[in-house]
Amino acid sequence: MAVTRYRSLLLAGLLALGSAVAVAQTQASLTAEQNRLARMEQSLENRRVEVEDIENELLSYEYKLEKAREALDKAQQKFEESRRELQQAELAHQQQANSDTERALNKAKHAFAMAERGVDSRTRRVEFIQSNYDELQGQLEAGRKAIAQTEGRLAAQKEKVDQMINAMLAKVDTAERKSAPVRSAPPVKKPPLPAPKPVAANTDAAKEADISKGAAEREVDPELLDYVKRERARMEKLLADGKEGKHTFRSLELKPAKGDPIPFEFLGHNQYRLVAPVEAGRQTYKINTWKFRRTIPADDDGERYVFIFDGRRLSRPRLVMYPEYVLPYLDK
């Protein structure tokens, strides 16, 4: 990132200005904006994963809807056939009533009632699947709109960071020009002076930097907060019946790049959970045979993250991740 590339140059230039307060304030401001940018990137990544999951679920519902409509068509055909057979049985019984025609009439009535029930049940199934499909379509549109908005916020934040870098570089350039030596006369040699002892940075500046850093660490991006709220609502709805269901895996473990594998806790309905510290940067998380790539902001280095593994669709399982420190903000 440009911030990392120019950090040493910027700090060296600011130190040349001779202001410890400026150094502390500039570093804190730049770090805060960089972290804010990383949060937006993380939120955009979460949104894209959500939209991809919705798109995959829509494909599944399209198949279900097609099969349900085919079943309804067959049920309606059977209903029409049983209706005609009932009419014929009624006519035959009216023309010549006997035990055989009565038995045939009762059988036709039963077949007609079963066919009618079949149409009703399959109609309700089509309506149920269609309703879910329409709801997913709405979620997809909302997700795509949120992605567009986040991309706009992200572009504006990147521009802000670039402007800060350019302003700092301009300040460094000005300071270097002012401190350039005059070549008109050779410098007069002076006796060597004892090396100055390092002076501690201004206490107020250091405190201000610490406060700014703490504020940045505690900052929760609204998109991230909404994401965690949606995931919590999904889990509460999924686990509301209190039934765990069968374990799909004998063991499910997160295999970090360093250290021992960490086992997941089974919650029910093929949902698994664990909490573990993370490292900053682009990370690959391996869970059994699946791999998931995620970006962790720099100020989350060492923070504890909640991992939720959704194993309902083994062809495309889902990994939900968010920092544990977000949880106290959910009910505010």
Question: Which pLDDT tens digit goes with each residue over 192-208?
Answer: 545 544 444 444 444 44
Among the residue ranges 101-105, 199-203, 222-226, 265-269, the one predicted with the least confidence is 199-203
User: What is the residue whose two structure tokens read 């500039």?
Assistant: 26
Q: Residues 280, 298: contact at Cβ < 8 Å?
A: yes
Overall average pLDDT of the 226-237 stretch: 91
Helix (H, G, I), strand (E, B) or coil at 10: helix
* Confidence band for 326, pLDDT divided at 50, 70 and 90: very high
**Which residue has 């059988």 as its token pair?**
107
For residue 209, the surrounding DSSP H or E stretch is helix 203-218
Averaged confidence pLDDT in the chain? 82
More confident residue, 210 or 55: 55
Q: What pLDDT is attached to residue 207?
A: 43
The beta strands (E) that lie in the chain are given as: 253-255, 262-263, 265-268, 271-277, 281-287, 290-296, 304-310, 318-323
Of 85 and 16, the structure prediction assigns the larger pLDDT to: 85
**pLDDT value for 36:** 84
Comparing CA positions, the residue from 325, 322, 142, 136 lying closest to residue 232 is 322
Residue 18: CA count within 13 A, CB half-sphere:
4
Report whether 243 contacts 231 (CB < 8 A).
no
Look at residues 114, 115, 93, 95 and name the one whose alpha carbon lies nearest to residue 104: 93
In this prediction, residue 13 carries a pLDDT of 55
Listed in sequence order, the residues at least 6 apart from 27 whose beta carbon sits closer than 8 Å to its beta carbon are 11, 209
Query: Which of 63-72, 78-87, 171-180, 295-304 has the lowest average pLDDT?
Result: 171-180
- In the predicted model, what is the mean pLDDT of residues 215-227? 73
For the residues 212-216, what does the mean pLDDT come to? 42
pLDDT at 65 over 60: yes
3-state secondary structure of 237: helix
DSSP three-state, residue 97:
coil
| 220 close to 38: Cβ distance less than 8 angstroms | no
* Residue 83 to residue 203: CA distance in whole angstroms: 92
Mean pLDDT of all residues in 124-130: 96
Name the band, by pLDDT with cuts 50, 70 and 90, for residue 2. Answer: very low
Q: Give dist(CA 77, CA 96) in Å, integer.
A: 29
Model confidence at 182, in pLDDT bands (50, 70, 90)? low
Exposure of 153 by Cβ count < 10 A (0-12 exposed, 13-18 middle, 19+ buried)? Answer: middle
CB atoms within 10 A of CB 240: 9
The structure's pTM equals: 0.65
- Listed range (135-149, 164-178, 272-286) with the worst mean pLDDT: 164-178
Question: Which residue would you say has higher pLDDT here, 288 or 184?
Answer: 288
Cα separation, 60 vs 66, in Å, equals: 10
Q: How does DSSP classify residue 287? A: E
